Amino acid sequence: MLADALFLQLGYNATLVAVGAALLGLSAGVTGTFLFLRKRALVSDAISHATLPGVGLAFLLLVALGGDGRSLIGLMLGSAVSAWVGLLCVSWLTRRTRLAEDAAIGAVLSVFFGFGVVLLTVIQTLSSGRQAGLEGFLLGSTAGMLWNDALIIALGGAVTLALVMLWRRPMTLVAFDPDYAQAQGVPVGRFDLAMMGLVMAVTVVGLKIVGLILIVALLIIPPVTARFWTEQADRVVWLSGLIGGVSAYMGAAISASAPNLPTGPIIVLTSFAFFAFSLFLAPNRGLLAAVLRYRQFQRRVHLRQGLLALAQGQPIYERLTLRLLQRAGLARADGVATDEGRARAAKALRDEKRWEIVRADHAHEGAAERYDGLTEIEAVLTPDQIAEIDRRIGGPQGVPA
Amino acid sequence: MSGSEFVPLSLTPLLIGICAAVACALPGNFLVLRRQALIGDAISHVVLPGIVVAFLVTGVVSAWPMMLGAAGAAIVAVVLIEAVRRLGRIEPGAAMGVIFTAMFAGGVLLLEQSDTSNVHLDVEHALYGNLESLIWLDATGWASLWDREALAGLPVELPRIFVTLLGVILFTWLFWRPLALSTFDEGFAQTLGMRTTVLSLALVIVAAIAAVAAFDAVGSIIVIAMFICPPAAARLMTNRLERQVAWSIVFAVISAVLGYVLAGYGPLWLGFADAVSAAGMIATVSGVILALTAMFGPCRTRSGAPQEI
């Protein structure tokens, strides 16, 4: 059943939903990246909540004009207008008052949402029955997606993507380093606004599929996930789009494969699964990689300390140290050094003495900074310099040559 | 309006609304100053999976398991956000966004899977609350306030939110000095030997408890709005923390009372037959107050910062 869904074998409507969701996920992932890199991920939360009063007002207006009230275009226009007003409120509060951005975001999202709920109750009392489906905007509903709806979503997604392609250079610059961008003559304010406009477009388009609460997830989770895998801004953008698209597609397919699996939450949980996977397993930034790095570091410290102990004839009590020495063939199980162990230990001790001189000598300041007890002195100084230092140490004193 | 109508129908929702608003606004003051304002938003979203899990485990719709479930989920969320932030080296806003949306999605999925809609545990209820329905049927008038029998019929939400409010006040009062110090100068507080991490966690937990207790009665919209709007508005009124807290309480009470009255009677004045959502209206009023202070408040701009034109 799931395989059928993944390969679009579940009929016309499921296919429509899956393709629509994938397009939406792709554009949300790409757009959200700029927001994430600009460290304003939660602005999307304010934007999405601010769409609700627009939906309500648009419905009321459409009904007042004698229309159906549920035309997707009308509701989308309404939500776009109120999201834009909400966005302006956030930026006005942040710029013109001393409130921090997070307080401005929270205030706008709760007040707009609250007002939207007031409007929804008005609609409920006005015309029982006709408002059916309006609540789908809260949590998303794809069951009744029509060809026209899918077309709007696809078009919206495509336009957003095209604009991102067009503006990605300046937007990346602004997202990473607004001051530098300003110095380069990039109109930072205008591109910030453009970025927000794109986020708003994605939010409005996505309302119908995942609902206003969960669209935030599609804008935030894919970029965060993509960031684990690469350091390059361009790649984060495309990878995030890919992750967003794939998780939306898979989510839609999974939700079509069984009853009682709401599309929006499944899509969000799918992308969260990608996130969790990356958090643990990504190279460099992942947890597993960090743990391995730590273990390796720990081994090097223990080995070094063990060698110094051997050189000074001190007994080794630390079990891990002993085991590491033994495995490297430097010591026997009873802690007595092998021939090779004695040689390495003597070198370790001599290097330590060399470092001591390097660190005491201002001429070697640069090299001394790299002393961490682990770096080989050969990696920092040239053979000539080492020879020079060795001359200062003098011949062997009390250590068997 | 006569007591015989007001006391049973409006007194308890009004009191519950006021208590919830103040209980959220108090910790909100510190959260807003610490730039953690959105923690209330995150908590009120993750409460949903907690409530659903509590229902699935116990099988009953009863207050205590759900409160425990919600509080547990809130704490899990706070820990997860912190873990993702530190382990993944992700900025706090994004870490919060990842966790609360995923947990909310999990909650909605569980809800749909377990078919709990027949026990009045639906998402809309969780969002809007049901302040209007918390009526005191046993009351007949003002005299009922001294009537033991009638008092037994008080909605259980009232004593619960009242106790929560007392707890929040007690916490704020007991830890006033450390809270204030660590909010304004964490480094200095640390040099005095304060355990600022513990204190900050305690603040978030108190906020979570207030959120959960209020959530149960009034829905998540008020919770988020009251955590942020009254403290933010109060911040634009004064430079002193004591006065800010006092203002925030005043604003919270005004929002609750005015919002409730407007929701219940406003439509009647305009000639409509039915009331609108009280929770939504309270949030709206708090937003209007914030807008007014942002335009006219005496301390609305950063002092010393250059004025933008």
Q: Answer whether residue B45 shows pLDDT above 50.
A: yes
Read off the pLDDT of each residue in A103-113 and give the average, rounded to a whole number. 94
Q: What pLDDT is attached to residue B23?
A: 94
Nearest CA in chain A to B96: A42
Nearest CA distance, A41 vs chain B (angstrom): 5
Q: What pLDDT is attached to residue A325?
A: 84
Nearest CA in chain A to B128: A117
Q: What pLDDT is attached to residue A258?
A: 81
Q: What pLDDT is attached to residue B171?
A: 95
- Interface contact B88-A261, CB threshold 8 A: no
Residue A293 vs residue B65, higher pLDDT: A293
Beta bridge partners of A234: none
Q: Is the dihedral of CA B29, B32, B35, B39 positive or negative?
A: positive
Q: In this prediction, what percent of chain B has a pLDDT beyond 90?
A: 33
Lowest mean pLDDT: which of A300-309, B53-62, B193-202?
B53-62
Q: Answer whether residue B78 shows pLDDT above 50.
A: yes
Q: Is A396 helix (H, G, I), strand (E, B) or coil?
A: coil
Read off the pLDDT of each residue in A170-175 and give the average, rounded to a whole number. 87
Please, what is the Cα angle at A367 between A362 and A371, to 5 degrees? 110
Q: How confident is the model at residue A382 (pLDDT cuts 50, 70, 90)?
A: confident
DSSP percent split of chain A into helix, strand, coil, nearest 5: 75, 0, 25
- Minimal CA–CA distance to A249: which of A44, A9, A7? A7
Read off the pLDDT of each residue in B236-252 and give the average, rounded to a whole number. 94
Residue B149 tokens read as: 């029998």
Across the interface, of A97, A104, A275, the residue whose CB is closest to B98 is A275
Q: What pLDDT is attached to residue B236?
A: 93
Q: What pLDDT is attached to residue A103?
A: 93
Residue B85 tokens read as: 């932030």
Q: In this prediction, what percent of chain A has a pLDDT beyond 90?
A: 28
Q: Which helix H or strand E contains A98, and what residues bound it?
A: none
Q: How confident is the model at residue B113 (pLDDT cuts 50, 70, 90)?
A: confident
Q: Answer whether residue A133 shows pLDDT above 70.
A: no
- Interface contact A42-B284, CB threshold 8 A: no
Spatial separation of the C-alpha atoms in residues A366 and A375, rounded to whole Å: 14
- Minimal CA–CA distance to A329: which of A319, A340, A321, A342? A340
Question: Do residues A318 and A303 touch, judged by C-beta distance below 8 A?
Answer: no
DSSP state letter for B90? -
Q: Answer whether residue A389 shows pLDDT above 90.
A: no
Instruction: Name the most confidently modeled range: A63-72, A84-93, B149-158, B191-200.
Output: A84-93
Q: What pLDDT is attached to residue A10?
A: 67
DSSP state letter for B154? S
Is the minimum CB–CB distance between B272 and chain A shorter than 8 Å? yes
Q: Answer whether residue B308 shows pLDDT above 50.
A: no
Is the minimum CB–CB distance between B261 and chain A shorter than 8 Å? no
Residue partners of A303: CB distance under 8 A and separation at least 6: A321, A324, A325, A328
- Minimal CA–CA distance to A153: which of A58, A57, A32, A19? A19
Q: Is B112 helix (H, G, I), strand (E, B) or coil?
A: helix
- Which residues of chain A neighbour B106 with C-beta distances below 8 Å? 265, 269
Spatial separation of the C-alpha atoms in residues B133 and B277, rounded to whole Å: 11
Q: What is the pLDDT of residues A71-93, one digit of tens each?
A: 778 888 999 999 999 999 999 99
Q: What pLDDT is attached to residue A30?
A: 93
Phi, psi torsion values for A54, nearest 5 degrees:
-65, -40
- Interface contact A227-B90, CB threshold 8 A: yes
Q: How would you label A234-257 residue by residue, b for 16+ Cβ within 10 Å and e otherwise?
A: eebbbbbbbbbbbbbbbbbbbbbb
Question: Do residues B105 and A247 touch, judged by C-beta distance below 8 A?
Answer: no
Spatial separation of the C-alpha atoms in residues B28 and B173, rounded to whole Å: 14
Q: Answer whether residue A345 shows pLDDT above 80.
A: yes
B281, burial (CB in 10 Å: exposed 0-12, middle 13-18, buried 19+): buried
The size of the A-B interface in CB pairs under 8 A is 217
Q: What is the pLDDT of residues A118-127, one digit of tens each?
A: 888 888 777 6
Q: What pLDDT is attached to residue B290?
A: 95
Q: Is the pTM of this model over 0.90?
A: no
Across the interface, of A96, A214, A220, the residue whose CB is closest to B105 is A214
Spatial separation of the C-alpha atoms in residues B72 and A77, rounded to whole Å: 40
Spatial separation of the C-alpha atoms in residues B269 and B278, rounded to whole Å: 16
Read off the pLDDT of each residue in A310-327 and give the average, rounded to a whole number. 83
Spatial separation of the C-alpha atoms in residues A134 and A120, rounded to whole Å: 8
DSSP state letter for A120? H
Question: Do residues A222 and A243 touch, judged by C-beta distance below 8 A?
Answer: yes
Q: What pLDDT is attached to residue B286?
A: 96
Nearest CA distance, B84 vs chain A (angstrom): 8
- ipTM strictly over 0.85? yes
Q: What pLDDT is attached to residue B309?
A: 41
Nearest CA in chain A to B111: A260
Read off the pLDDT of each residue in A276-296 and give the average, rounded to a whole number. 90
Question: Do residues B49 and B104 touch, judged by C-beta distance below 8 A?
Answer: yes
Q: How confident is the model at residue A240 (pLDDT cuts 50, 70, 90)?
A: very high
> What average pLDDT does the structure give for chain A?
84
Question: Do residues B194 and B182 touch, judged by C-beta distance below 8 A?
Answer: yes
Question: Do residues A246 and A25 touch, judged by C-beta distance below 8 A?
Answer: yes
What's the Cα-to-Cα distance from A6 to each of A1, A23, B217, rounded to whole Å? 9, 15, 42
- Minimal CA–CA distance to A129: which of A204, A63, A78, A210? A63
Question: Do residues B233 and B29 touch, judged by C-beta distance below 8 A?
Answer: no
Q: Answer whether residue A400 shows pLDDT above 70.
A: no
Q: What is the pLDDT of residues A214-239, one digit of tens each?
A: 899 999 999 999 999 998 888 999 99
Beta bridge partners of B261: none
A199 sits in the region (left: phi over 0; alpha: psi -120 to 50; else beta) called alpha
DSSP state letter for A334? T
Beta bridge partners of A337: A331
CB neighbourhood size of A386 (10 A): 16
